[in-house]
Homo-oligomer: A and B are copies of this chain.
Amino acid sequence: MTIKISIDCMGGDHGPSVTIPAAASFLRREADAELILVGQEQVLLPLLKKYKLADDPRVQIKNASEIITMEDPIEVALRRKKDSSMRVAVTLVKEGLAQASVSAGNTGALMAVSRYILKTLPGVDRPAICTILPNQKDGPTYMLDLGANVDCEPQHLHQFALMGSALVAVMEGKPRPTVGLLNIGEEDIKGNELVKQTALLLRADHQKGTLNFYGNVEGNDIFEGTTDLVVCDGFVGNVTLKASEGLGRFVKIVLTTEFKKGFFNKLGALIAYGALKALSRRLNPSRYNGASLLGLRGLVFKSHGGADVYAFEWAIRRAYDAAKYDVLSRIGATIAELMPQAETPRVADAAAEDVAAVVVGNASALASTETIEQKTV
């Protein structure tokens, strides 16, 4: 079965110089994949030739005249640049011409555009961003929300848990993934009001057998791999993710600096090259690139803006896998079956229709979509 992915080739810090070679590399590995490369034709064509994609029958070019920059406010993405590569790529999913879309562009804009074009799934108040992180068990820990929603209510975290659980079940082939609620202690009495109320909802699901709720987990459990999924609000998730990225870079800088100091350290590094390479592979954030925008009526994946070719290829792969395993129907079915409708008034979706009329601030970084939430709901 052929899987067709639309790629916003102009997004990210490096644009087509990264997205096109990543697309070429991905196509070489995946025989049943087809790609729709979206962007300014005159910019893309020379690169397609360079990477021998110009005559590839599995490649289609879709012209889009505009580019959403990392600095563009959400309103520009939504109201002005209607022919942006990002928007055209997502629209292909809406029209059923692609099964998933990938962009390395501005997260806030991508979330706003995707929500506006695709709408949310029935029963979902707010889409969330779900990523994977490495853990000690050499497996991935899924975590959401990473910044699409701040000031969450318990029912939002409840929805995140159900969506995330469905995602892990499909992507990892684990029918009953364990779900942890991020807290500051393991005991039930710990935490703020949000997590205490959320725990009640998740525990009720656990008792019904519809969710494999492990209980509270702490920050360290993310990297220990205590649970398959970690649920938190977007503020906590975003800060934790960025702190981890910052610590990771810090460790890398110290390692690199120290191994370059003096003859013996350099020699040792050369001899232990295998260990350093394995270390770099196991801790390489590129392998974990590609966050899902969950809760939409279509599959959209967000690559890190600074992704290199290798990392962007991982994001395409994730979108491809999600489409192949039909993540969307699974999440839709889970939410439809398990989400008590009373708890999810369908105001958010109607409000999203008006989102284009909303003037909001700059959305260059992750997590800016909450401003849309606040203004439209």
Q: Which of B150, B250, B258, B261 is close to A184, meaning CB atoms less than 8 Å apart?
A: B150
Q: Which residues of A contact B (CB under 8 A)?
A: 134-136, 147, 150-151, 182-187, 189-193, 218-224, 232, 234-236, 238-251, 253-255, 258-259, 261-262, 264-276, 278-279, 282-283, 360-362, 364-368, 370-371
Can you give 10 A-B contacts (C-beta < 8 A)? Answer: A183-B239, A185-B364, A189-B360, A190-B367, A219-B240, A219-B241, A240-B243, A258-B279, A259-B275, A268-B272
On chain B, the residues within 8 Å of A364 by CB distance are 185, 187
Identify whether the interface residues of A are mostly helix, strand, loop, or mixed.
helix
On chain B, the residues within 8 Å of A190 by CB distance are 365, 367-368
Given contacts A193-B151, A278-B258, A368-B190, contact A184 B361 (CB under 8 A): no
List the B residue with the shortest CB-CB distance to A253: B136
User: Could you tell me the distance between the alpha carbons of A264 and B283 in the complex, rounded to whole angstroms?
Assistant: 21
On chain B, the residues within 8 Å of A234 by CB distance are 184
- Pair A366/B240 contact, Cβ less than 8 Å: no
Q: Which of B222, B255, B267, B283 is close to A279, meaning CB atoms less than 8 Å apart?
A: B255
On chain B, the residues within 8 Å of A248 by CB distance are 247, 251
List the B residue with the shortest CB-CB distance to A259: B275
User: Could you tell me the distance between the alpha carbons of A371 and B191 in the complex, rounded to whole angstroms?
Assistant: 9
User: Could you tell me the distance between the alpha carbons of A106 and B208 in the complex, rounded to whole angstroms?
Assistant: 36
On chain B, the residues within 8 Å of A270 by CB distance are 268
On chain B, the residues within 8 Å of A134 by CB distance are 250
Q: Which of B242, B253, B272, B282 is close to A265, meaning CB atoms less than 8 Å apart?
A: B272
List the B residue with the shortest CB-CB distance to A248: B247
- Pair B189/A362 contact, Cβ less than 8 Å: yes
- Pair A235/B184 contact, Cβ less than 8 Å: yes
> A88 to nearest B CB, angstroms?
27
User: Could you tell me the distance between the alpha carbons of A250 and B220 in the complex, rounded to whole angstroms?
Assistant: 9
Q: Which of B185, B239, B361 is close to A240, meaning CB atoms less than 8 Å apart?
A: B239
List the B residue with the shortest CB-CB distance to A221: B246
- Pair A245/B219 contact, Cβ less than 8 Å: yes
Most buried by B among A218, A239, A364: A239
3 closest cross-chain pairs (CB), A and B:
A268-B272, A219-B242, A220-B246
Q: Which of B192, B219, B273 is close to A151, meaning CB atoms less than 8 Å apart?
A: B192
On chain B, the residues within 8 Å of A249 by CB distance are 136, 220, 223-224
Q: Which of B264, B273, B365 is close to A271, meaning CB atoms less than 8 Å apart?
A: B264
Given contacts A265-B275, A270-B268, contact A136 B250 (CB under 8 A): yes
> A131 to nearest B CB, angstroms?
14
> A89 to nearest B CB, angstroms?
24
- Pair B184/A239 contact, Cβ less than 8 Å: yes
- Pair A238/B184 contact, Cβ less than 8 Å: yes
> A358 to nearest B CB, angstroms?
13
> A127 to nearest B CB, angstroms?
16
Given contacts A219-B243, A219-B246, A367-B185, contact A268 B258 (CB under 8 A): no
